[in-house]
C-alpha cells in the first residue's frame, strides 16, 4: 500500500490549482450568472496540456495517467463546476472513445487535435426518449453506398456547439435475435443536416455548453463508424465507466470547496458573542463534511488507480461517482446552512455549488443507475 | 548562451506561518519556488529560446528542494543541480550560500546568472550581489527588462518605482524584479519531460569544501511574528466630519502627522 502521489502527479495538481485559482476562480460567478461558455479558458487549458492528460504522446497527449487526470478535474471543479463539467466531458466523453475504439486513421484525424487541446470533442448518447435506458436509442444510421445516412435527435449534449467533432450513437441494424445493433459515428462539425442549438436554461453548470442536436439526413463516410460496427453499446458502457471517475473527481472538488468556504466562514462569523465554529452543531457538520470529502477522494483515486493498473474498475467507479456526487450535494447544502442568509446569496458562491452538484447526481448515469450498476456487479 | 538560475525553495508567506520554539514549523507550511526566482527561471528560458544555449537551475538546499527544481525543469529549464547541505550543515547564512555557489561556479564559464531580487523568507537580497562580487562580474539588481545583443546587454531596472536604463556586458549577474515577465505555468508535457531531465546532486565534498570553509558569519538570535493586527475603526457621519476626525486621529492616536 502506498498513498503517496508521484512527483508528476503532485506537480500537476499544484499547477492546475494555481491556474484554476488565478484564471478561472475570478470569473466563476459571471460564468454561472451569464451562462457563458469560457472558450478562452479552454484554449489556455489546451495549451497547458490539460485536455490531453490521459492520452499517449503519439496522439498529442501528455502521457499521464488517470490519477493525474482525476486530480486535475478535482482542482478545476473546486473553483468552477461549469468549467469542470465541460472539461470532464471533453476528455472522458469527447476524446476517450476515439482513443479506446478508433482506428489509427480516426485517431490521427480526430483524437490528435483534441488531445493537443486545439479543439473540443463531444459525445451524443442521450435522446429525448432514451436517457438512462440508452439502449432505447431511436436515432438511425443507414448504409447507402459508401455513406451512412443518420437521422434522429440528441439532447443535453455537453460541448456540442463548440466541438470539432461529435460522436453519436445510432441504431445501424438488427441482430439475429431481433435486438437493435447500436454503433457510434464520428460526425465532424459543419456536416450538412446537423443542427445544434443551445437554448436550455439550466439550474446549474450554467456556463457549461449543453446542446440539442437534430440530425436530418446527415451523410458521413462509411469510415466514420467508430471501431467495431456492432460494438457501439459496449463502447459507450466502457466510456461511461471511465467518465464516472472524472465526474466523481469534479464532485470531490465541489465538496472540498464547500468545506473550505464553510470552515472559513464559521471561524469568522460571530453570533451570541462567539464564532459559530464554537458551536457543536456547526462543528459536527464540518466534521461530517471533512470526513466525507476525504472518503470520496480516496474512492475516486482508488478507482482511477485500478483503471491505470488495467484492473476491473466498473464497480469502484460507480461507488466513486455515486458517493462523491451525493457528498458534493450534501456538503454544498451544509455549506449554505452554515452561511445562514449569506449562503443563499450568489456572491458567497455556496449556493452555486449546490446547483452545480445536483447535475452530478444525474449526468453520466443517475444515482439510481449507479446503484443498478453496483447491484449487477454484486451478481443481482 | 550558458545561462544559470539561482533558485531557492521557500515557504509560502501567503499561508499561515507557525513559530514554535523559536523555529518556523515545517509541518503544514506550503513550500514553493521563491516567487522572484520564478521570474528568473522564466527570463532564462526566454533568453535561451532567443539566443540558444542551455539553462541550468542551481539550488543550495535539502533533499526536499528537488520538487522545486523539477518544477523549474517542467517550466523549460534544461538541467538542474541540487547542492545538498542536509548532512553537512546545521545552519547557514548568506555567506555560506555564496561561498558554496562561488565554488560551484569556479569552473562553469557562465554567460549570465539570474537570481531573484530577494527571497521572500529572509528577504536579505544579498546572495546575488555577493556572488557577483566573488566571481568578479558586473551585477545589476531589480531588473524589469533585459535585451542581449552579442556581448552587449541593455537593462531596465526598477529604482523605487522609477526606471533606470543601464548598458553593460556579459558575463553578468542580474536579480529579477516583479514586472520583468509573467512566469509560465509548467505544462503537462513539460511536467512529463522533466522526469527525464538531469538533476545532479552535489555535496560540499564534491566542491572541495569543508564545513569550516562555509561557516556562517551571522547568528539568528530570535524569530518572531509581527504583532497581531488590531481591529480597524469605522468612522461615521458626513464625509467632511469624517475627514476631520481622521486627520485628528492621525495626529493624536497614530502620531504619523
Ligand atoms: C447538463 C447536462 C449535461 C449532459 N451531458 C450529456 C452528454 O454530454 N452526452 C450525453 O449523451 N448525455 C448528456 N446528458 C444527459 C444525461 O446523461 C441524462 O440526463 C441522464 O443519463 C439521465 O437520463 P434522463 O434525463 O433521460 O432521465 P431518465 O432516464 O428519464 O430518468 C428519470 C428518473 O428515473 C430514474 N430511473 C430511470 N431508469 C431507472 C431504473 N431502471 N431504475 C430506477 N430508476 C430509474 C432515474 O434515475 C431518474 O431519477 C447531460 C444532461 C445534463 C442535464
Ligand atoms: C431571502 C431571505 C429573506 C429574509 N427575510 C427576512 C425578513 O423579512 N426579516 C428579517 O428580519 N430577516 C429576514 N431574513 C434573515 C433571516 O431570518 C436570517 O438569515 C436567519 O435568521 C439566519 O441568520 P443569519 O443569516 O445571520 O445566520 P447566522 O445567525 O449567522 O447563522 C449561521 C449559522 O450558524 C448557526 N447558528 C447560529 N447560532 C447558533 C447556535 N447558538 N448554535 C448552533 N448553531 C448556531 C445557524 O443555524 C446557521 O447555520 C431573510 C433572509 C433571506 C435569505
More confident residue, A1 or A282: A282
- Give residue-wise pLDDT tens across range A22-56: 999 999 999 999 999 999 999 999 999 999 999 99
* Catalytically active residues of A, by annotation: 364
Residue corresponding to grid cell 485517431 = A107
Q: Is A150 on the interface with B (CB under 8 A)?
A: no
pLDDT at B26 over 80: no
Q: Does some domain include residue B117?
A: yes
In a domain, B186, yes or no: yes
pLDDT confidence bin for A223, thresholds 50/70/90: very high
Instruction: For residue A107, give the nearest of A2, A226, A204 by alpha carbon.
Output: A226
Q: Are residues B204 and B241 in the same domain?
A: no
Beta bridge partners of B148: B153
Contact assignment for A47 to B67 by CB distance below 8 Å: no
Given a cut of 80, whether residue B191 has pLDDT beyond it is yes
Together in a domain, B140 and B59:
yes
Asked whether residue B111 is domain-assigned, the answer is: yes
C-beta atoms of A62 and B185 within 8 A: no
For residues B185 and B88, state if they share a domain.
yes
Q: Based on the fold, state whether residues B135 and B190 are members of the same structural domain.
A: yes
The finding on whether A132 has its CB within 6 A of some atom of ligand 1 is yes
Whether residue B134 is contained in a domain is answered as yes
Measured from the Cβ of residue B20, the count of other Cβ atoms closer than 10 Å reads 9
The answer on B152 and B112 residing in a single domain is: yes
- pLDDT value for A26: 97
Residue B187 confidence (pLDDT) above 80: yes
- CB distance B174 to B112 below 8 Å: yes
pLDDT at position B52 is: 96
Tell me: do B233 and B160 sit in the same domain.
Answer: no
Q: What is the pLDDT of residue A234?
A: 85
Q: How many CB atoms lie within 10 A of CB A237?
A: 13
- CA of B161 from ligand 1 middle (Å) equals 59
Task: Flag whether pLDDT at B230 surpasses 90.
Answer: no
The Cα-based distances of A173 to A149, A367, B131 in angstroms read 13, 31, 76
Task: Assign residue B82 the CATH number of its domain.
Answer: 3.40.50.620
Query: What is the pLDDT at residue B123?
Result: 86
Q: How far is CA A354 from CA A261, A330, B34, in A?
A: 13, 8, 37
The answer to whether residue A30 neighbours chain B at the CB level (below 8 Å) is: no
> How many Å lie between the alpha carbon of A228 and the closest alpha carbon of chain B?
31
| B137 and B256 assigned to the same domain | no
Q: What is the mean pLDDT of residues A75-104?
A: 97
- Cα B100 → chain centroid: 16
Q: Please indicate, yes or no, whether residues B252 and B177 belong to a single structural domain of this protein.
A: no
Asked if the structure places residue B223 within a domain, the reply is: no
B133, part of any domain: yes
| Whether B7 and B77 share a structural domain | yes
Tell me if B31 sits within 8 A of B11, measured CB to CB.
yes
Average pLDDT over residues A253-266: 98
Model confidence at A376, pLDDT cuts 50, 70, 90, reads very high
**A373 ligand 1 Cβ < 6 A:** no
B112 φ, ψ (degrees, to nearest 5): -145, 140
Chain centroid offset of residue A171 CA: 25
Report yes or no: A217 at the B interface, CB cutoff 8 Å: no
CB pairs A-B closer than 8 Å: 46
Q: Give domain status of residue B220, yes or no.
A: no
Q: Considering the domain boundaries, does residue B224 fall inside one?
A: no
Are B209 and B239 in the same domain? no
- Both B48 and B165 in one domain: the answer is yes
Whether residues B162 and B252 share a domain: the answer is no
Residue whose CA lies nearest to ligand 2 atom number 45: A276
* Chain B stretch 42-61, residues whose beta carbon is closer than 8 A to a beta carbon of chain A: none
pLDDT at A225: 96
Q: Which residues of A touch B33 (CB under 8 A)?
A: none
User: Whole-angstrom Cα distance, residue B189 to residue A334?
Assistant: 39
Range of the domain at B121: 2-214
Give tens-digit pLDDT for A302-321: 999 999 999 999 999 999 99
pLDDT in the model for residue A229: 85
Q: How many domains does chain B have?
A: 2
- Mean of the per-residue pLDDT values for chain A? 96
Instruction: Sort strands B172-176 and B31-33 into parallel, antiparallel or unpaired.
Output: unpaired
What pLDDT, on a 0 to 100 scale, did the predictor assign at position A296? 98
For chain B, what is the mean pLDDT? 93
DSSP three-state, residue A369: helix
Residue-wise pLDDT for A136-180, tens only, equals 999 999 999 999 999 999 999 999 999 999 999 999 999 888 889
Q: Using the beta-carbon criterion (under 8 Å), do A52 and B192 form an inter-chain contact?
A: no
Q: How far is B129 from chain A (nearest CA, A)?
A: 31
pLDDT tens-digit profile of A182-210? 999 999 999 999 999 999 999 999 999 99
ipTM score for this prediction? 0.87
Q: pLDDT at position B227, please?
A: 84
CB B81 within 8 A of CB B200: yes
Q: Which chain A residue's Cα is nearest to B196?
A: A8
Percent of chain B exceeding pLDDT 90 equals 75
Amino acid at each position: 500500500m502506498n498513498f503517496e502521489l508521484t512527483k508528476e502527479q503532485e506537480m500537476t495538481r499544484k499547477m492546475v490549482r494555481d491556474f484554476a485559482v488565478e484564471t478561472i476562480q475570478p470569473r466563476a460567478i459571471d460564468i454561472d450568472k451569464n451562462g457563458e461558455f469560457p472558450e478562452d479558458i479552454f484554449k489556455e487549458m489546451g495549451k497547458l496540456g490539460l485536455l490531453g492528460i490521459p492520452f499517449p504522446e503519439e496522439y498529442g497527449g501528455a502521457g499521464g495517467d488517470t490519477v493525474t487526470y482525476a486530480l486535475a478535474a478535482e482542482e478545476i471543479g473546486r473553483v468552477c463546476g461549469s468549467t469542470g463539467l465541460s472539461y470532464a466531458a471533453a476528455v472522458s466523453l469527447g476524446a476517450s472513445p476515439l482513443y479506446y475504439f478508433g482506428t489509427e486513421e480516426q485517431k490521427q484525424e480526430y483524437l490528435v487535435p483534441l488531445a493537443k487541446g486545439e479543439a473540443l470533442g463531444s459525445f451524443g448518447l442521450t435522446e429525448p426518449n432514451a436517457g438512462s435506458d440508452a439502449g432505447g436509442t431511436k436515432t438511425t444510421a443507414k448504409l447507402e453506398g459508401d455513406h451512412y445516412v443518420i437521422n434522429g435527435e440528441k439532447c443535453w449534449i455537453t460541448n456540442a456547439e463548440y466541438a470539432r467533432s461529435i460522436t453519436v450513437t445510432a441504431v445501424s441494424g438488427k441482430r439475429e435475435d431481433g435486438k437493435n445493433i447500436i454503433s457510434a459515428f464520428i460526425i465532424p462539425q459543419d456536416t450538412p443536416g446537423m443542427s445544434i442549438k443551445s437554448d436550455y436554461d439550466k439550474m446549474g453548470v450554467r456556463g457549461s455548453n449543453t446542446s440539442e442536436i437534430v440530425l436530418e439526413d446527415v451523410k458521413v463516410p462509411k469510415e466514420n463508424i467508430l471501431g467495431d460496427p456492432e460494438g457501439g453499446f459496449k463502447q459507450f458502457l466502457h466510456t461511461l465507466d471511465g467518465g464516472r471517475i472524472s465526474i466523481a473527481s469534479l464532485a470531490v472538488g465541489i465538496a472540498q470547496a464547500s468545506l473550505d468556504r464553510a470552515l472559513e466562514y464559521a471561524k469568522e462569523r460571530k453570533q451570541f458573542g462567539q464564532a459559530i465554529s464554537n458551536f457543536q452543531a456547526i462543528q459536527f457538520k464540518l466534521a461530517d463534511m471533512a470526513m466525507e470529502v476525504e472518503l470520496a477522494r480516496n474512492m475516486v483515486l482508488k478507482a482511477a488507480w485500478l483503471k491505470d493498473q488495467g484492473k476491473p474498475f466498473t464497480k469502484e467507479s460507480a461507488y466513486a461517482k455515486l458517493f462523491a456526487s451525493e457528498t458534493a450535494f450534501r456538503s454544498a447544502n451544509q455549506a449554505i446552512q452554515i452561511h445562514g442568509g449569506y449562503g443563499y446569496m450568489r456572491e458567497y458562491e455556496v449556493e452555486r455549488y449546490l446547483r452545480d452538484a445536483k447535475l452530478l447526481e444525474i449526468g453520466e448515469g443517475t444515482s439510481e443507475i449507479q446503484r443498478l450498476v453496483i447491484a449487477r456487479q454484486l451478481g443481482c | 548562451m550558458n545561462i544559470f538560475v539561482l533558485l531557492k525553495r521557500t515557504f509560502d508567506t501567503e499561508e499561515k506561518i507557525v513559530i514554535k520554539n523559536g523555529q518556523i514549523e515545517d509541518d503544514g507550511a506550503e513550500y514553493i519556488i521563491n516567487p522572484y526566482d520564478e521570474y528568473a527561471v522564466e527570463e532564462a528560458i526566454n533568453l535561451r529560446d532567443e539566443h540558444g544555449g542551455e539553462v541550468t537551475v542551481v539550488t543550495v538546499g535539502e533533499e526536499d528542494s528537488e520538487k522545486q527544481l523539477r518544477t523549474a525543469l517542467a517550466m523549460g529549464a534544461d538541467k538542474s543541480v541540487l547542492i545538498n547541505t542536509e548532512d553537512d550543515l546545521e545552519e547557514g547564512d548568506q555567506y555560506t550560500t555564496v561561498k558554496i555557489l562561488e565554488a560551484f561556479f569556479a569552473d562553469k564559464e557562465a554567460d549570465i546568472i539570474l537570481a531573484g531580487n530577494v527571497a521572500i523568507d529572509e528577504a536579505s537580497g544579498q546572495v546575488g550581489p555577493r556572488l557577483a562580487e566573488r566571481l568578479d562580474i558586473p551585477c545589476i539588481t531589480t531588473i524589469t527588462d533585459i535585451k542581449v545583443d552579442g556581448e552587449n546587454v541593455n537593462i531596465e531596472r526598477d529604482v523605487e518605482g522609477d526606471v533606470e536604463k543601464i548598458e553593460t556586458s556579459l558575463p553578468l549577474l542580474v536579480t529579477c524584479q516583479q514586472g520583468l515577465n509573467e512566469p509560465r505555468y509548467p505544462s503537462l508535457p513539460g511536467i512529463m519531460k522533466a522526469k527525464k531531465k538531469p538533476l545532479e546532486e552535489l555535496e560540499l565534498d564534491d566542491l572541495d569544501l569543508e564545513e569550516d570553509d562555509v561557516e556562517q558569519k551571522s547568528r539568528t538570535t530570535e524569530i518572531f511574528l509581527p504583532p497581531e493586527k488590531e481591529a480597524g475603526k469605522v468612522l461615521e457621519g458626513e464625509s467632511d466630519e469624517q475627514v476631520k476626525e481622521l486627520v485628528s486621529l492621525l495626529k493624536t492616536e497614530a502620531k504619523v502627522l
